[in-house]
Structure 1
Amino acid sequence: MHGDLKNSRFLVIGGSSGIGLAVAMAATNAGAAVTIASRSRAKLDSALADSRLTARGRQLDIIDHPAVESFFADEAAWDHVVVSAAQTTSGPVRKLGLSEARDTMDSKFWGAYHVARSAKFREHGSLCLISGFRGVRPSANTVLQGAVNAALEALARGLALELAPIRVNVVSPGLIATPLWAGMAETEREGMFTSAAERLPLRRIGQSSDVANAVLFLASSPFSTGSTVVVDGGGIIAA
């Protein structure tokens, strides 16, 4: 399915856990030469210890623009870059601290912006950003996350024009079972997943591999740019 990714230089920023790690695994299985980047050395070491993943690891904090510039200056051009790294906080706008809100914007929007500004691509390369379905279907407790996701998708559409013929796309996940939810008590987490699944047309929540499939589809689709692929189990259209 993804034979044209064989031997491609494939960078996954945020590739040490969750969706990013699933993308790195899928790209490895497709024969790509994968590099994962993360600001956490411990997470990098843990991911690279998995025998199923054949990849290089680089420590990188994408909030630090000089560090991002230095990283890409030291590396050869990439065929595909995926930005999955982000640490976000949710909550009502009037209760969420401004410093936390700015940190969320720095991590998810400005981090991706820094990468787009500095990355070097081979001819016909691609950049893929990860947003979230709240950019289209907001909720009262995720106003900031929805705004950041919508901004990322607008950024990608503009970059698809500015960076052409480099392709720029977005994958927008719904509720995905990732380590992000590990801090919740197991019974509370499973109750949330069950309740959410009952409201979705597909009657299940997503897995990281579902998102990875969409990312690899976009990487290997030479006529796709400026697109947002929604992987949410029907969350946008659910009642």
Structure 2
Amino acid sequence: MASLANTRVLVIGGSSGIGEAVARRSAESGAEVTIASRSADKLTRAAETIGHGVQTAVLDTRDNTAIEGFFADNAPWDHLIVSSAATARGGMRSMSLEDAYASMDSKFWGAYRAVRAARMTDGGTITLVSGFLSERPSAGATLQGAINAALEGLMRGLALELAPVRVNAVSPGMIDTPLWADMPEARRRELMKTAASDLPVGRVGRAGDIANAVHYLMITGFATGSVVRVDGGGAIA
């Protein structure tokens, strides 16, 4: 297995949750890490929490001009992780078309724009974050499942098109991250408790669980075109 020591790692969506955990794991492994997101304040807080000289970049994956400019101004990256997404929750008929389009634009087209513009070293890696709803749809999250499936299909094609760059995806299940922060605390705790009781492992996931999977894909030179599902058994329960 390869080492991340002295490699350049960019985590888009690295200011919180899964992305922040990936950035921390990479920095602790000796990588030179840059975290990017839309919020300068969140980036500053995350960088202070992670330490290890982590750099920050304000970047909106919805802005293609900004994305292209960012990659043009930076040296090629050894590893790119795209975990940023803002997707609406709800069924097809309860969600407005505007929210549906915005969700697809954020998670799918945001990743597409980033990878399209990215300059990578030969043998570098790109890891996309999808979600287990691509395999086990939910009646209340039809669009999210479709977006995740589209991301995984994109990943497989890119693994061929961009070789020798290795392209993979990590598919999380229910993960307790700041994504749920807008939910009332009592309701959030009950949701997590119910989800945990339905899983073979008996708990919901943590951001670090996903960071472990991303780390594996970065250092394993024989992994490309793969989806690593980390869902506590959610797809089979």
SS where residue 76 of structure 1 aligns? coil
Match in the other structure for 2:192: 193
Match in the other structure for 2:18: 19
| Runs of 4+, deviation exceeding 2 Å | 51-54
Q: Which moved more, 1:41-50 or 1:161-170?
A: 41-50
SS where residue 126 of structure 1 aligns? strand
Match in the other structure for 1:79: 78
Contact persistence 2:34–2:55 (CA under 8 A): yes
Match in the other structure for 2:180: 181
SS where residue 71 of structure 1 aligns? helix
- Structure 2 distance, partners of 1:105, 1:205, is 26
Query: Is 2:132 the counterpart of 1:120?
Result: no
Match in the other structure for 1:220: 219
- Structure 2 distance, partners of 1:166, 1:210, is 24
Match in the other structure for 1:36: 35
Q: Which moved more, 1:177-186 or 1:95-104?
A: 177-186
Contact persistence 2:173–2:234 (CA under 8 A): yes
Aligned partner letter, 1:126: T
Q: 1:164 to 1:87 in 2, by over 3 A?
A: same
Contact persistence 2:2–2:220 (CA under 8 A): no
Query: Is 2:152 the counterpart of 1:153?
Result: yes
Structure 2: runs of 5 or more not aligned? none
Query: Is 2:146 the counterpart of 1:142?
Result: no
Match in the other structure for 2:234: 235
Deviation, 1:54, is: 2.8
Deviation, 1:51, is: 5.4
Contact persistence 2:59–2:66 (CA under 8 A): yes
Query: Is 2:177 the counterpart of 1:166?
Result: no
Q: Which moved more, 1:41-50 or 1:148-157?
A: 41-50
- Structure 1 distance, partners of 2:111, 2:182, is 25
Q: Which moved more, 1:73-82 or 1:177-186?
A: 177-186
Q: 1:160 to 1:45 in 2, by over 3 A?
A: same
Aligned partner letter, 2:8: R
Contact persistence 1:132–1:146 (CA under 8 A): yes
SS where residue 129 of structure 1 aligns? strand
Aligned partner letter, 2:141: T
- TM-score w.r.t. the length of structure 2 is 0.98
CA deviations over 1:210-237 (Å, ceiling 9, x no partner): 0000000000000000000000000000
Contact persistence 2:71–2:118 (CA under 8 A): yes
- Structure 1 distance, partners of 2:182, 2:134, is 24
Structure 1: runs of 5 or more not aligned? none
The two structures, once aligned, show a CA RMSD in angstroms of: 1.0
Query: Is 2:68 the counterpart of 1:69?
Result: yes
- Structure 2 distance, partners of 1:52, 1:98, is 41
SS where residue 206 of structure 1 aligns? coil
Deviation, 1:3, is: 6.3
Deviation, 1:188, is: 1.1
Aligned partner letter, 1:190: R
- Structure 2 distance, partners of 1:234, 1:226, is 22
- Structure 2 distance, partners of 1:236, 1:53, is 36
Identity %: 54
Match in the other structure for 1:92: 91
Query: Is 2:109 the counterpart of 1:110?
Result: yes
Aligned partner letter, 1:28: A
- TM-score w.r.t. the length of structure 1 is 0.97
